[in-house]
Amino acid sequence: MNTFFKTIVWRNDPDFIADLLKALRGIRVVHLTGVDFTVDMETFYTELTDKLGQIIPADEDAMTGSRSKESARWTDIRYDADQATYFRHSATQQPLHTDTAYTSYENDLNFFFCRTRADIGGATTFFDGEELYRILKKYEPELLDKIEHTIVTFDKGRTERKAKPILQMKDGVVWLNWNYFRVSEQNTPAAKTLCDRFHQFLEEKIVKGGLTTPVILAPGECVFFQDNHILHGRNAFFGDRALIKGALNFREAEVSGHQ
């Protein structure tokens, strides 16, 4: 069974939520298609995700990462020429990363739903943590050992900070914590050098090797992903592009491998 990627078509029937939940707990990336793009997207996905779990307010300040006490439910990931110095609002390629690398919280699942598709390009790209581990173990065992046993601090602004290894294998499950552009200045020189090396490995071997899985969302579509177990990035694009980002925790059985 493929536990990395699956496409599911929306069905308006009583069994759909249970089927979707089963997929989300066992499959690391789920692409939801077949949603009527003419409906109000925020209302549709508010109702859907409330049935899937407990929403974690995902909005944050693009510069500081801080969240207000009444943080909004969603984060907009849209092109804005006036704020294009931030990946969130740029049209450039975004390197592979995990969203919660620097955050003060964890969650089971992240998701993007599409409001506006780019004219050209703009795929969200995914790379499975299990495949990353297999490649490193076979071809770069020394690098694997270092990223498993070196504590790296990631931060953003004054409130968001996390320190842990980039990759951990726990009970046969790969856990990832990585964002090259959030590597803290407080890290040791050796840790910073390691991060430079791992970033180069991902860019030169994984991204340029064409090993990622691209997903271009049409308006109304959504992609759900287990942020702690995969890496994701973005291809550069032309034109406007707007995705809405959210995060949630499951209420009942937790995602496969979650501790």
Question: What CATH number does the domain containing 77 carry?
Answer: 3.60.130.10
111-160 tens-digit pLDDT = 999 999 999 999 999 999 999 999 999 999 999 999 999 999 999 988 89
User: Which pLDDT does position 249 carry in this prediction?
Assistant: 95
Establish if 257 belongs to a structural domain. Answer: no
Instruction: Please say if the pLDDT value at position 64 is more than 80.
Output: no
Q: Which residue has the higher pLDDT, 256 or 98?
A: 98
Q: Per the domain annotation, does 38 fall within a domain?
A: yes
The letter for the amino acid at 99 is D
Q: Determine the average pLDDT of the residues in 22-39.
A: 97
Percent of the chain with pLDDT over 90: 80
Whole-angstrom Cα distance, residue 137 to residue 10? 38
Per-residue pLDDT, 256:
42
- Exposure string over 121-150, b if 16+ CB within 10 A, otherwise e: bbbbbbbbbbbbbebbeeebeebbebbeeb
- Residue 158 and residue 141 share a domain: yes
Q: Is 130 within 8 Å of 5 (Cβ atoms)? A: no
Average pLDDT, the chain: 91
Q: Does some domain include residue 254? A: no
Examine the domain organization and report whether 167 and 101 are in the same domain: no
The reply to whether 259 falls in a domain is no
Per-residue pLDDT band for 66 (boundaries 50, 70, 90) equals low
Domain contains 153? yes
pLDDT of residue 257: 43
| Pair (197, 235) in one structural domain | no
pLDDT of residue 67: 54
122 with 31, same domain: the answer is yes
- Residues 88 and 203 reside in one and the same domain: no
183 inside domain:
yes
One domain for residues 67 and 158: no
Residue 256 lies in a domain: no
Residues 120 and 240 in one domain: yes
Residue among 167, 170, 147, 177 nearest 257 (CA): 170
Same domain flag for 139 and 35? no
Domain count, the chain: 2
DSSP secondary structure of 28-61: SEEEEE---TTS-HHHHHHHHHHHHSEEE-----
At 1, the pLDDT band (50, 70, 90 cuts) reads low
The per-residue pLDDT for 259 is 39
Is the same domain home to 89 and 151? no
- Are residue 158 and residue 96 in the same domain, yes or no? no
Are residue 18 and residue 116 in the same domain, yes or no? yes
pLDDT at 146: 99
Residue 4 pLDDT grade (very low, low, confident, very high; cuts 50, 70, 90): very high
Q: Evaluate whether 104 touches 159 at the Cβ level (below 8 Å).
A: yes
Instruction: Give the pLDDT score at 252.
Output: 62
Q: Containing domain of residue 177, as a range?
A: 129-207
Residue pLDDT, tens place only, 79-97: 777 776 777 889 999 999 9
**Residue-wise pLDDT tens digits, 159-176:** 899 999 999 999 999 999
Burial readout 166-175 (b: 16 or more C-beta within 10 A, e: otherwise): bbeeeeebbb
Residue 229 lies in a domain: yes
Answer yes or no: do 21 and 96 share one domain. Answer: yes
